[in-house]
Chains A and B, each alone.
Chain A
Amino acid sequence: MSTRIGIVTFPGSLDDADAARAVRIAGGEPVALWHGDEDLKKVQAVVLPGGFSYGDYLRCGAIARFAPVMTKVIEAANGGMPVLGICNGFQILCETHLLPGALTRNDHLHFICRDQRLRIENTSSDWTRDFAPGQEIVIPLKNGEGGYVADEATLDLLEGEGRVIARYLEVNPNGSRRDIAGVCNERGNVVGLMPHPEHAVEDLTGPSTDGLFFFASALTSVLAGSHR
């Protein structure tokens, strides 16, 4: 049986179909989860996709964290289930405090969509274990509020514990501190990533297929049962 990976649709989620496609191409079985769901339908990992959940009103991700499904996602994450938040999903994970820090308005104040070069800094998290150490990849980035910020002590802690999972190369597209593109929790099962791996899964439609490694990593993690 293939691995069931849940993809949550909030009102205003936009990249949910893309995330489902990415899971499918990587060899998993995408399972649609609705923001009002009270159970996770036996999924073995969860993706919070990009978009503008609840219109990004109040603050990006601030309303989504209170969605009924998030109670279950937080529980599962604390129990070790692999959870990936992409862009708006990253913002939601920060709002839930599953991940430290916050995402702020891009320093240049414009939305930006570009093919972004990254270096994978951590290959032990549940979503990056299939990468080679230091591997450089190119995947799309598209955000208006993608500047990663945290206080210096937190940043030092993240660096010290190897929890910066990817860093921007060549261009820092949004003013993120220390060029941070993604971070993970202490346990390595919860990952937040500002760029979009789900848009880099086919040569035809993406700048590369580098994004597949993230989803393949999750499948590997589930098979290994690393946190159960």
Chain B
Amino acid sequence: MIDSVQRAEQTPEAEQPFADLGLKPDEYERIHDILGRRPTSSELAMYSVMWSEHCSYKSSKVHLRQFGEKKPETDALLVGIGENAGVVDIGDGWAVTFKVESHNHPSYVEPYQGAATGVGGIVRDILSMGARPLAVMDPLRFGPADAPDTARVLPGVGAGIGGYGNCLGLPNIGGEVVFDDSYLGNPLVNALCVGAMRHEDIHLASAKGVGNLVVLYGARTGGDGIGGVSVLASETFDDEGPAKRPSVQVGDPFMEKLLIEATLEVLHAGLVEGIQDLGGAGISCATSELASNGEGGMHVWLDRVLLRDPTLSPEEILMSESQERMCAIVRPDKIDDFMNHCRKWDVEAVVIGEVNDSGRLTVDWHGERIVDVPPRTVAHEGPVYERPFHRPSWQDALQADSSDRLDRPGSDGLRETLLELVAAPNLAGKSWITDQYDRYVLGNTVLAQPEDSGMIRIDEVTGRGVAIATDCNGRFAKLDPYTGAKLALAESYRNVCATGAVPLAVTNCLNFGSPEDPEVMWQFAEATRGLADGCAELGTPVTGGNVSFYNQTGETAILPTPVVGVLGVIDDVGRRTPMQWGPDGELIYLLGDTRDEFGGSEWAHLRGHLGGLPPQVDLQRERILGEILVAGSRDGMLTAAHDVSDGGFAMAVVEMALRADIGARLWLPDGIDPFVQLFAESAGRAVVVVPRSEELRFSEMCAARGVPAHRVGVVDSGLGPDAGYPQGTQVLQFGDYFTVTLDEVREAHTRTIPALFA
């Protein structure tokens, strides 16, 4: 029997499974207060998914406000936080939208589909702004590289990302792969998408115009992903409880490709008044948000929804997270035209509702009223919690446990340390994974992994383009979440500058443990504060992002992992700076100060140590360093540039040399411990390669801006014989301390990941 509004009024005492749907007793009470009666089972379904942590941001909202409050002055922001994705102006009439989201929990349960639909979901967010999706990136975190469960999860995640993105025709241009014990039961699968449109093509999710039609189009609605956001993404995994597999959605990238083309056609033909993608919380989310943002009222005939499984109940239809669906608001006189475009692309579409000004969202099921709610209470006025938080009891002890106590190699152990680092899972080459992604499709990829940023051309005529990097060292964030978040921002910012692009805006995916744990909540509060302060200092506003809580198994939370994505603009991608260094004789400079900083470093991590303080961060210095990198690109002073981070200076030069397959003579300055010089992870540094003709101009620019520029080497392909190797052997010579051949470094660097996962 259908639980209609009428029946709800007649049976006020009926017991409802609100707790199973993830609602707390006081939240259930609040629904009563809003409606003046008990909710129908369909209403309960809607509120439960929309008030879930994943959709309502109820624990994070009070902290996320800082991104708006501390927002730097900028002309670049066209659409800010709160829409499906932020939009920035990159000049010449182009607007770019980008966002990163998590799909962590589904990817643990079912790695292939979880990762695949993560790509699909973020792509629809970008599409729903009116933009053509142009590229994707995937920041990933896994348990220890040699753990059996990592061998289960990682290959599936990589294949899922490739399987979906490749079939969709979007190049995958970057991301991260990081291993740490804390992610063993909670891998992080974040997905970023960037898209572009002309300014006039920006669309928003609002149901405007009384009498306009609500069209649901794309894939049919099925029983997959029911309760994905409430059950899966808003709860901690434990050993008990039912299998979660049915909560994971199943993707069809072919349908998504058709959906993209059909959607862009109807948008460009001017047939759409408002548009929204269907992701978490499905029809519940799309209808309530569209209505809430528009005239305030909407009526839906739910029995018109095309189903994959005819036995689905109305509650299930409202909650289903079936993929590849979109919802558009279309004027009645344009509906035929809209339907014709859908037919051209073999996309099914059906009118399911109508916009009105009743102030209510009403839903009927075969003539019976099953939902009658004020849409704002579903979409925007969910609960907000001021979760208690406090500095963890162990934080002081952790910071006091400095990495200084670790035994450092003497000068005769430096070579071995380098070979250990280049082969370490976190630093080793990831091409076994990323070669499963198509980086060429669309023909506009200028830079892709392992470059510092992914870069795509937006305008083929002018060469205008964007660069994007994502970064986060969760170990730094654990040692000090405030500084750690700023360091993540700094690294991502630096990576964008290193390619010659000017940073413009920030997106973030804040991955944390349970917000119900005050110590985790403190990490979240501190990281959010750090990121908001950092964005203010660098002048790059946060345009949107995503929070993923409950990434913990039992009492053990993941490393706090605020992944930061920075987007930069470059007026001509032809002047991009790659990390591959140039021909013989060019000069290698290290920019910035190197300090004895090993807290949270990869070297300490390999010794099983995490303690002390993270490296210092000075965002004003980062900003000036960034200006130098951009000016160097603009004025043709740089052949190559590479950010110095994990593994320190030594790792940076190895990566540049491997990319070029050319060796170099490097010298280590006097007065600094060579171990520190080679492996410390001080922030605010980059390695750049300067042609001799530009040396004077470049070093004068650095001096004028007060950025230390140390000449530390020269590109040299002819070092083999000097070092006792045959002619032609490419060698890196580190002062008088040691030499390595690129062949042995490459072998160590490329062997690790295939040996573990192939």
Query: Measuring CB to CB, which residues of chain A are less than 8 angstroms from any residue of chain B?
Result: 11-12, 14-15, 17-18, 21, 50-52, 54-57, 108, 110-114, 140, 142, 144, 196, 198-199, 201-202, 204-206
Contacts and interface: CB of A to CB of B under 8 A. Distances in A.
Given A14-B168, A50-B441, 11 more contacts: A12-B258, A18-B440, A21-B443, A52-B167, A142-B166, A144-B166, A196-B440, A198-B443, A199-B443, A202-B443, A204-B573
A14 B162 contact: no
A199 B440 contact: yes
Nearest to A198: B443
A116 to B, nearest CB: 11
Contacts of A111: 159, 162-163, 166, 436-438
B719 interface: no
Nearest to A202: B443
B439 interface: yes
Contacts of A206: 440
Contact of A140 (B258, B345, B440): B440
Classify the secondary structure of A's interface with B.
loop
A202 to B, nearest CB: 8
21 contacts: A11-B346, A12-B257, A14-B167, A14-B257, A14-B441, A17-B443, A51-B169, A52-B166, A52-B167, A52-B257, A108-B758, A111-B436, A111-B438, A113-B435, A113-B437, A113-B439, A113-B440, A142-B441, A199-B440, A205-B443, A205-B457
B436 A112 contact: yes
A112 to B, nearest CB: 6
Q: Assign chain B's interface to a size class.
A: 20 to 34
Given A55-B167, A142-B166, A204-B574, A18 B443 contact: yes
7 nearest A-B residue pairs (beta carbon): A55-B254, A14-B169, A18-B443, A199-B440, A52-B167, A140-B440, A111-B436
A201 B457 CA distance: 15
Contacts of B457: 204-205
Nearest to B155: A110
A57 B437 CA distance: 20
Pick the most buried of A18, A54, A113, A140: most chain B CB atoms within 10 A of its CB: A113
A140 B171 CA distance: 13
A11 B574 contact: no
B420 to A, nearest CB: 28
B444 interface: yes
Nearest to A16: B169
A173 to B, nearest CB: 10
Contacts of B403: none
A113 B436 contact: yes
Given A57-B254, A204-B573, A205-B457, A18 B441 contact: yes
B254 A12 contact: yes
B440 A110 contact: no
Contact of A142 (B168, B253, B255, B438): B438
A50 B253 CA distance: 16
A21 B457 CA distance: 14
Given A113-B437, A205-B457, A11 B345 contact: yes
A28 B193 CA distance: 33
Contacts of B168: 14
A205 B436 contact: no
B440 A17 contact: no
A205 B574 CA distance: 10
Contacts of B438: 111, 113, 142
A112 B159 CA distance: 10
A198 B442 CA distance: 10
Interface in B404-452: 435-446
B252 interface: yes
Contacts of A110: 159, 436
Contacts of A55: 167, 252-255
Contact of A205 (B255, B345, B444): B444
Contacts of A12: 167, 254, 257-258
A66 B167 CA distance: 21
A18 B442 contact: yes
Interface in B339-391: 345-346
